Structure 1
Amino acid sequence: MQVTVSSGKGGVGKSSITASLLYLLSKDIDLVAVDADADTPNLDILLNVKNWEGEELLSGERVAVIDGDRCNGCGLCARHCPYDCIDKEGKVYRVKEVLCEGCNVCSIVCPHDFVISFKETISGVVKWGKTDYDFKLVSSQLFPGRPNSGKLVFKAKKVAQSFNEDLMVVDAAAGIGCSVVASINGSDLVIVVVEPTKVSLSDAKRLIKVLDHFGLKRVGIINKFDVNPEFVPIAEEFLKEADADIIGYVPYDKNVINAILKGKPPVEVFPESSFSVAINEVYENLKDFI
């Protein structure tokens, strides 16, 4: 079974909630976790992965390479490059690899043979290791300026599936980009985390449209509900219209920040905190859906 934790907006507390739910879930079920925020993965910090056991690289993207010994400096490649990734260095031209999309325009317009070639690049890496809580975490990390975050997340999930655990919990990135689509794909349940604010619900509305497109079952969590209590009924109505049963209301709690500083799930280091009490209630309600 795959459960994905998502949010339309970043900074709503999704990863703290995910880490805490993983801590509780791991006591009752064999699971594997996936950090699918390929641009900024950090779940390994909260789950304290000390050593990575293995890794796989994602390759296959091409970038252009200009042979400086053959280039005569005519500049046609730079003038026609749609990504503005070719600059003049001295008398010849060079490709800024981080910007190159491998579109082949430069080699088409170049009037000379064997000046421009292409090489394969590495887009990112998938790593896995054991957490402090006796389950594995698979983490996807995209390298700066490289494309294919979606493919990287698919690769991370495939690695996670190879461990043959009963449950896979995916911590998706915020938004509705390629990595998010790859994260929610195949989900049996999507947990949508929102705050009671206009910005959060506006972004979550776009996420719900994606979930509707794929016909995915969803539930909702209202985080930091006590920060803007007058907006909570609006958030409740939003989730009701989105066909998302509310499985919990989580208050703002400074202990969450203190737990992050310690690199631990809040429910472990502050089990009596208001956040932890609420997350335990969320966990009990979640059991009805998994």
Structure 2
Amino acid sequence: MVNIAITGKGGVGKTTIAGILSRFLGGEEYNVLAIDADPDMNLGSVLGVDMSEVTPLSENKELIAERTGSMPGKNMGGGVFKLNPKVDDIADAYGVKAPDKVNLIIMGTVDKGGSGCMCPSDAFLRALLRHLIIGKDDAVVLDMEAGIEHLGRGTAKSVNSLIIVVEPGMKSLKTAQRIKKLAEDIGIPNLGAIINKVRETAESEIIKERLKNMNIPFWGVVPFDENFMKADLKGKSPLDFSPESQGVQAMEKIKNNILRESKDKC
């Protein structure tokens, strides 16, 4: 079983990493569940899914009302509802089929009325995330928003790899350092960094040295690849648009590294 959460500063390319990795794992005969927990909700396009008719779970108000015991529009800002709704059938019933045996779940965003607000939608999505991460799927790849706010102590114990995507630049490294601290605080034992969008070898060497000083293991480099941008403009997966590109080949090596790390920690 492989459970991977992918995070990093906004714009570093974590969704591209998550999508390519999900499909590579499917090619390894894993039954992959890819979870888009990023508010931008772009994982489907990287997987090669037509998202024009896909509705995020957070917008399925009737489903959320049914599972949490709330009434749409009435309990969303307070009141009584189930904090642990039934979610064990959601992946099969509402997952979107993607190539290479990948099943995609789009979580969507939750609008909160204020800091610390808890609403039925929030309770539903948190319960779903907890269940999916500790479920019985062969592989789970979680594309997170910046930081690790989606993970708490109850879910972190079953994540066997946290990937921090960084790019050449100090802002990205500072975010990586903060994520490492938070990961340690909530008990995630295994994490590593992927350096993305590298144009020159000297760039990656500098970042590798900085990661070493922060005690963050290095799991691979993905070169800057114009084919990734071209694929995005055409709404295609990089694997379908340019399967032999440098970026895709680099990701295949990283997939092998991650599988070795995950198996070693199981």
TM-score (norm 1): 0.67
Once the two structures are superposed, the pairs formed by residues 180-191 of structure 1 within 5 Å of their partners are 181=152, 185=156, 186-191=158-163
Letter in 2 for 1:211: A
Letter in 2 for 1:179: H
Deviation at 1:161, TM superposition (A): 5.7
Aligned residues: 234
Greater displacement, 147-156 / 248-257: 147-156
Conservation of the 8 A alpha-carbon contact between 1:222 and 1:248: yes
The answer to whether residue 32 in structure 2 is matched with residue 57 in structure 1 is no
Instruction: Tell me how far apart the structure 1 counterparts of residues 22 and 202 of structure 2 sit (CA, whole Å).
Output: 31
Q: Of the candidates 131, 135, 150, which is equivalent to residue 179 of structure 1? A: 150
Identity over aligned residues, as a percent?
A: 27
In 1, Cα distance between equivalents of 2:96 and 2:153: 21
CA spacing shift, 1:235–1:132, aligned 2, 3 Å = same
Task: Quote the residue 2:197 is aligned against.
Answer: 224
Q: Which moved more, 1:15-24 or 1:234-243?
A: 234-243
Residues in 1 aligned to 2:133 and 2:199: alpha-carbon distance in whole angstroms: 38
Amino acid at match of 1:172: M
Q: 1:236 and 1:183 mapped to 2: Cα distance?
A: 32
Secondary structure in 2 matching 1:224: strand
Aligned-residue offset at 1:22: 0.8
Q: Which residue of 2 aligns with 1:44?
A: 44
Measure, in 1, the Cα distance between the counterparts of 2:153 and 2:142: 10
- Where structure 2 has 5 or more consecutive residues not aligned to the other structure, the ranges are 82-89
CA distance in 1, matches of 2:135, 2:186: 26
Alignment match, 2:178: 206
Taking only aligned residues, the RMSD between alpha carbons, in angstroms, comes to 3.6
Aligned residue in 2 for 1:136: 103
- TM-superposition CA deviations, 1:79-123 (whole Å, max 9, x none): xxxxxxxxxxxxxxxxxx9xx965xxxxxxxxxxxxxxx798xxx
- 1:236-278 Cα distance to aligned partner (Å, 9 max, x none): 1232244433221111111111112233321232012121121
Contact 2:45/2:237 (<8 A) preserved: no
Q: Which amino acid aligns with 2:12?
A: V
Q: Does 1:165 align with 2:137?
A: yes
CA contact (8 A) 2:163 2:191 kept: yes
Point out the structure with the larger helix share.
2
Aligned to 2:169: 197
Given that residues 36 and 183 in structure 1 are in contact (C-alpha distance below 8 angstroms), is that contact kept between their aligned partners in structure 2? no
Give 1 or 2: higher strand fraction.
1
**2: CA distance between counterparts of 1:187 and 1:283?**
16
2:103 is aligned with what amino acid? K
Larger radius of gyration: 1
Task: State the partner residue of 1:26.
Answer: 26
CA distance, structure 2, for counterparts of residue 163 and residue 214 of structure 1: 19
Shift of 1:143: 4.2
User: Given that residues 23 and 265 in structure 1 are in contact (C-alpha distance below 8 angstroms), is that contact kept between their aligned partners in structure 2?
Assistant: no
Residues 1-290 of structure 1 correspond to what in structure 2 (within 5 A)?
1-7=2-8, 9-28=9-28, 29-37=30-38, 39-47=39-47, 48=49, 56-57=63-64, 127-145=94-112, 147=117, 151=123, 153-158=125-130, 160=132, 164-176=136-148, 178-179=149-150, 181=152, 185=156, 186-216=158-188, 217-226=190-199, 230-290=202-262
CA distance in 1 between counterparts of 2:232 and 2:144 reads 19
CA distance in 1 between counterparts of 2:213 and 2:185 reads 15
Query: Unpaired segments of 5 or more residues in structure 1?
Result: 66-96, 103-117, 121-125
Q: How far apart, in 1, do the equivalents of 2:253 and 2:232 lie? A: 21
Distance 1:265 1:3 in 2: 20
